[in-house]
Amino acid sequence: MTLLYIECPCTSFPRSFARDYKETYLYPPPSTIYGFLLSLVGEENLTTHLGVELALGIIGDDPAISRIVRKQRHHKFAIGQEAKKRIAKYGEGVYPSSNFSKLNHQELLTNVRIVVQVNSHQETASIKLTERISIALSTPSQITRFGGLSLGESNGLVNGVRSYRESDGTIRWLVKDKRGLIGLPIWINRTTGQGTFQRFSFGDFCSDCWVSIKLPVSKSNTKLSKSKASK
C-alpha cells in the first residue's frame, strides 16, 4: 500500500450538476484522485487500473472557498448535419469566442491538503498502480508524461506529492456512510453524464474508508457482459 501527501494551493472540483454557476465539491472526489494518480504515472487509458482501491483523508480545517468571475467557453459538441454546418461556417475546431464565451461565477478552494492511501491488491494490471507511483516518486526520469501535474482543473497545479509524514498533521478520513452529508462521485461518464456516487462522513481509518474504482453498472455494460458469457 502507498500513503501519499498532496498539497494544492488553489483548485476547484466542479460539481457534476453545476451549470452556469460553477460550484465546487469541498473535498476531492475519488474520481478526481484516480485521474490525478494516472496523470502522475503517465497513464492515458482510464481503464488500465480499474479495481484499485483508494482511501482519502483531509489534513487540517476544511479548505476555504472563494468566488471569482471568470470567462468560460460554452459550446456543444455537435454531430451529424449540425456539425457539418458549423464546420462549413467557421472551420473545423473553430468556436468564435463572441458566440461561445461569457462571464460566469466560479468557486475556488485554497490550501487543499489531502492524504491518499492506495491499495492495488484487486487490480488486474500486470504492473500495479502502487508500483508505478513508487517509480514516479523515486525515479521520475523513468516516467513519460506531459503537462503540469494538477489536481482538479488543469490550472490547479499541485505544490508537490510525496509520502505522508506524521508531522504533516492529523488525518480526517472520509468513511462511507449512507446517511453522510458528503456526496462525491466515484466515476463519471463524460459522454452520457451517468456515473456512481458515494456518501461519506468523517471518522477514523477503517475498512469502510476504501473506495473501489470501477465502471458504473449500466444496461449497455450488462448486455455486453451477457453477450460475452453466451459466446
pLDDT digits (tens, 9 = 90+) for 107-123: 999 999 999 999 999 99
Phi, psi for residue 87 in degrees, rounded to 5: -65, -40
Give the chain's domains with CATH numbers.
2-69+108-213 (3.30.70.2660)
Give the pLDDT score at 220: 55
pTM: 0.82
Residues 125 and 33: beta-carbon distance below 8 Å: no
- Using pLDDT thresholds of 50, 70 and 90, give the confidence band for residue 163: very high
Closest C-alpha to 47, from 183, 223, 224, 216: 216
Q: How far is CA 96 from CA 22, 73, 123, in A?
A: 22, 10, 44
Highest mean pLDDT among 86-90, 96-100, 122-126, 158-162: 158-162
What does the mean pLDDT of the chain come to? 86
Position 4 confidence tier, pLDDT thresholds 50, 70, 90: very high
Question: How many angstroms separate the CA atoms of 144 and 150, rounded?
Answer: 16
Taking residues 66-78, report their average pLDDT. 76
Give the per-residue pLDDT at 75.
61
Q: Is 11 within 8 Å of 25 (Cβ atoms)? A: no
- Top pLDDT among 81 and 6 is at 6
In the structure, how many helices (H) and strands (E) does the chain have?
A: 5, 9
* Residue environment code for 137-162, b if the CB has 16+ CB neighbours within 10 A, otherwise e: beeeeeeeeeeebbbbbeebebeebe
